[in-house]
Chains A and B, each alone.
Chain A
Amino acid sequence: MMGDLNWTATTVFVFFFAVVTVVGFLASRWKAGDLNDLHEWGLGGRRFGAWITWFLLGGDLYTAYTVIAIPSVVYAIGAYGFFAVPYTIIIYPFLYLTLPRLWAVAHKRGYLTAGDFVVGRYGDRGLELAVAVTGILATMPYIALQLVGMEKVIQALGFPRQGIYAHAPLSLAFVILALYTYKSGLRAPAMIAFVKDIMIYIFVLAVVVIVPIQLGGYGAIFDAAGKVFEAKVAANPKLAAGLTLAPQQVGPYITLAIGSAMALFMYPHALTGALAASSGQAIRRNAMGLPAYSFLLGLIALMGFMAHAAGVKVDNPQDAVPQLILKSFPDWFAGFCFAAIAIGALVPAAVMSIGAANTFTRNIWKPFIHPEMTKREESALAKLVSLIVKVGALAVIFFIPTQFALDLQLLGGVWMIQVFPAVIFGLFTRWFTGRALLIGWAIGMIVGTGLSSGATAWVPVHPLAWDIPLLGKLDLGLGFAAYNGLTAVILNMIAAAVVSALWRTSSADETAPADYEDRSIAAGQA
C-alpha cells in the first residue's frame, strides 16, 4: 500500500510540519493578551508591526492554491495565466490609498470586520448582513481549495490517491491546524507565516536558479514551451494558448486583473490581516513591501513553462509543479519544497477560518440572534465557528467533486467584488445611502451569477453582448469579453448611484471624518 512512498521526502516533510505545529501552539503566548477577547483572538490585539504584517499578509494572500493553480494555467495555456502579475501590481496602490483609512476607523470604533464598518457607517443591518454573508460564502470554497493544494503535494510524496488512506494525511494535518487555531487565534498563522514565507522564498529561488541551469537557460525554456503550445494549437485550432495572448484573451486578461484586485481586499481573510496591523503606516509600508511576493508569484508562474521544458507530461495541470520539483531536485529538497507548499496552505486556511468566524460572530449571530453577547461569549463562539468552518471545508473535499469547489471559488470572486462599493466608497463619502448600496449589491449578485452560468459549465468571462429578457439583444460593440465580476460590479455601482440620487433615506452614521485619518491617531497617541 505504501510501497510508492518517497521516504526521504516524506521524512523532511513531516519534520517541517512538526516544527510549525509546535510554533502554532506556542503562538498563544506571543505578545500575550487575553484570548477570551475577540480583539485578541481574532485580530491579534492589533499589535502587528510592519514586518509581522508583511509576513502575515504575504503568507495569507499568496496561498498554496495560488502556488499550484497559477503555474497550472500557465502550463495549460501559457500567457493567460500571467494575469496574476498585473492583478498584483494594481492591488498595492489601491491598498495604499484605502486600507489605512479603513484601519483608522476600525481602530477608533473597535471594528473587526467589513460588516462592522458598514453598519457603523450606514446604520443599515440589511447591508451588514449582505456584506457578511457574501464574505462567508466566498471564503468557504477558498479554504477547501487550500486543501486541494495541500493534497496535490501529499499525493506527490507517493501517498495513494484512492482508497481509505487517501484522505488520512490531509485530515490529520487539518485537525492539527484546527486545534492550534482554536487555541492561539490569529497569532498562530502570524507566527507560522515566518516559517512558511522563508521556506517559500528558498524553494522559489532554488527553482528559478537551478532549473534553468539544468535546462539550458530561460531562452531554451521559453522555446520548448512555445513548441508545446504550437503543437497543442495545431491539434486543436479552437484552443487559445501560447507565449503571448490571443486577441480574444486580451479583454478577459485585463478585466480579470482589475476585478480580482477589487475583490481581494474584500475577502474577510485579507481584511483580517490588514486590520491586525498596529498602525496605518504599517499598512502603507506593506504596500511597498508586498510586491516582493508578487515578483515571487511571477516566478512561480514561470514554473508552468519550466515543466514543459523539463518534459513533464501530466493530465491534470495541477500536478505540473509537484512533478517538476520531483524531476529537478533530490528527494530531501523535494520534501522541503512540498512542505513549503503545504504549510503555505495552513496560513491562509487559518486566517480565512478566523476571518469567517469573526464575521459570523459579529455580523450575523450577535445582531440577529443574541445581541447581549459578552466579550467572552463572542470569543468562545468565534473559536467554535472557526472549527466548524474547517470541518466544513474538509467535508467539501471528501464528499463533493473538486470541480464544485473550483466553481464555487470562481463564483465567490464574482460575489465578493459586489461589496466593494459599500466598503470602499464608504471610506470616502457618505453620499451613497445604505439602502441604495444594498439594492446595488443584490443586482450585482444576480447579474454576476447569471452571466457566469454558461450552457455546460460556470464561466468567469462573458462577451459584452447580452440577450436580456423582455428587452432583447444589447451589444456594447466593444468586441471583447469581460470578467463577470467586473461587469456586475459596474451595474451595481450605477444602480447604487441612481437609487442614492432619487431616494434619499436617512440613517445614523456613527463615524466622524476625523476617524478616517490614521496619522492623527498616531499623533494623538504620541
Chain B
Amino acid sequence: MKYILLFAPCVVALATPLYNSINPELAGAPFFYWLQLLLIPVSAVFIFLADRLGKSRP
C-alpha cells in the first residue's frame, strides 16, 4: 500500500497523453495545466500518507 501511494501520482504525471488536452477547462485554464498543478499537492499528501503507513507497520 505504501508503494502504491508513492507511485500512483508518478504514474498519472507520466501518463501525458491522458491529460494532453484543452478540455475540460477549470477557471479558464486548460486541462493540461490545472491537472498537473493539482497533482503536485496530491502527490505531497500521498507521500505524507505513505509515511504514516510506514511508521505504523515498520
A residues with a Cβ closer than 8 A to B are: 79, 82, 85-86, 88-90, 92-93, 96-97, 217-223, 243-245, 250, 253-254, 257-258, 284, 287-289, 291-292, 294-295, 298-299, 302, 519
B30-44 residues at the A interface, CB under 8 angstroms: 30, 32-33, 36-37, 39-41, 43-44
Chain B residues within an 8 Å CB radius of A254: 14, 16
Q: Do residues B40 and A218 form an inter-chain contact, with CB atoms below 8 A?
A: no
Question: For window 1-32 of chain B, which residues contact chain A by CB distance below 8 Å?
Answer: 6-7, 9-10, 13-14, 16-17, 20-22, 25, 27-30, 32
Q: Which of A79, A86, A97, A220 contacts B14 (CB 8 A)?
A: A86
CB <8 Å contact, B22 and A92: no
Selected A-B contacts with CB under 8 Å, 10 pairs: A86-B36, A89-B39, A92-B47, A245-B16, A250-B20, A284-B51, A288-B48, A289-B44, A295-B37, A519-B58
Q: Is the CB of B20 within 8 A of A298?
A: no
- A90 contacts across to B, CB distance below 8 A: 10, 13-14
Residue contact B21 to A288, C-beta cutoff 8 Å: no
- In the complex the two chains form, is B40's CB within 8 Å of A291's CB? yes
| CA–CA, A243 and B7, complex, Å | 27
Measured between beta carbons, the chain A residues less than 8 angstroms from B28 are 217-223
The residues of B with any CB-CB pair to A shorter than 8 Å are: 6-7, 9-10, 13-14, 16-17, 20-22, 25, 27-30, 32-33, 36-37, 39-41, 43-44, 46-48, 50-51, 58
Write the chain B residue with the least CB distance to A293: B40
Q: Are B41 and A291 in contact (CB under 8 A)?
A: yes
Task: Determine if B40 and A222 form an interchain contact, defined as CB atoms under 8 angstroms apart.
Answer: no
Partner of A244, one of B13, B32, B40, B44: B32
Residues in chain B near residue A292, CB distance under 8 A:
44
**What are the 6 A-B residue pairs with the smallest beta carbon separation, nearest first?**
A219-B28, A86-B13, A93-B6, A291-B44, A218-B28, A89-B13
Chain A residues, CB < 8 A from B16 = 86, 245, 250, 253-254
Which of B17, B30, B36, B39 counts the most A-chain CB atoms under 10 A from its CB? B36
**Bound complex: CA A318 to CA B44 (Å):** 30
A79-B32, A96-B47, A302-B33 are known contacts. Are A218 and B27 too (CB-CB below 8 A)?
yes
Contacts of B43 in A (CB 8 A): 89, 92-93, 291
Chain B residue at smallest Cβ distance from A97: B6
Tell me which of A243, A250, A302 has the highest count of chain B C-beta atoms within 10 A of its own C-beta: A243
Cβ contact of B47, chosen from A222, A288, A294, cutoff 8 A: A288
A89 touches B27 (CB 8 A): no
The reply to whether B27 and A243 form a contact with Cβ atoms under 8 Å apart is no
Establish whether residues A96 and B14, one from each chain, have CB atoms under 8 Å apart when the complex forms: no
In the complex, what residues of B have CB within 8 A of residue A519's CB? Answer: 58
Contact call B14/A85, Cβ cutoff below 8 A? no
Is A257 in contact with B14, judged by CB distance below 8 angstroms?
yes
> Which residues of chain A come closer than 8 Å to B7, judged between CB atoms?
93
Whether A257 contacts B13 in the complex (CB less than 8 A), given A96-B6, A288-B51, comes out as yes
Given known A-B contacts A89-B9, A220-B28, A257-B13, A82 and B36 have beta carbons under 8 A apart: yes
